[in-house]
Amino acid sequence: AGRPASADWNGVGATADGHRVKILGNVGSVADARAAAAAGAEGVGLFRTEFCYLDAPAEPSVAEQRAAYTAVLTPFAGKPVVVRTLDAGADKPLAFLVPEPEPNPALGVRGLRVAFERPDVLDRQLEAIAAAAADSGAEVSVMAPMVATPQEADWFTRRARAAGIARAGVMIEVPAAALAAGEILEVADFVSVGTNDLAQYTFAADRQLGAVASLNDPWQPALLRLIQLIGDAARAAGKPAGVCGEAAADPRLARVLVGLGMTSLSMNPAAIQTVGASLATATTSDCEEEARRALAAG
Ligand code: PEP
Ligand code: MG
pLDDT value at residue 7: 54
Is residue 191 scored above 70 in pLDDT? yes
Is residue 32 scored above 70 in pLDDT? yes
Average pLDDT, the chain: 96
Question: What are 95-118's pLDDT values in tens digits?
Answer: 999 878 999 999 999 999 999 999
Q: Which distant-in-sequence residues (6+ apart) come within 8 Å of 27 by Cβ?
A: 33, 35, 36, 44, 46, 47, 48, 72, 269
* CB-CB contact of 167 with 146 (8 Å): no
ipTM of the complex: 0.99
- More confident position, 101 or 145: 145
* CB-CB contact of 237 with 185 (8 Å): yes
Question: What are 56-73's pLDDT values in tens digits?
Answer: 999 999 999 999 999 999
Q: What's the rounded Cα separation, in Å, for the pair 292 and 221? A: 10
Q: Which distant-in-sequence residues (6+ apart) come within 8 Å of 162 by Cβ?
A: none
* CB-CB contact of 143 with 111 (8 Å): no
Residue 248: pLDDT band (50, 70, 90) is: very high
106, 107, 112: which is closest to 85 by C-alpha?
112
Ligand 1 binding pocket includes 50 (Cβ within 6 Å): no
By CB atoms closer than 10 A (0-12, 13-18, 19+), residue 106 is middle
Q: Which distant-in-sequence residues (6+ apart) come within 8 Å of 160 by Cβ?
A: 126, 142, 168
Ligand 1 binding pocket includes 265 (Cβ within 6 Å): no
Nearest CA to ligand 1 atom 8: 196
Q: Which of 208, 244, 267 to mutate to test the pocket of ligand 1 (most atoms within 8 A of CB)?
A: 244
Residue 182, amino acid: G
Ligand 1 binding pocket includes 173 (Cβ within 6 Å): yes
Q: What's the rounded Cα separation, in Å, for the pair 114 and 175? A: 19
> How far is the CA of 236 from the CAs of 42, 183, 188, in angstroms?
25, 11, 14
Is residue 29 scored above 70 in pLDDT? yes
* CB-CB contact of 66 with 104 (8 Å): no
Nearest CA to ligand 1 atom 6: 194
Tell me the pTM: 0.96
CA 149 to chain centroid, in Å, comes to 17
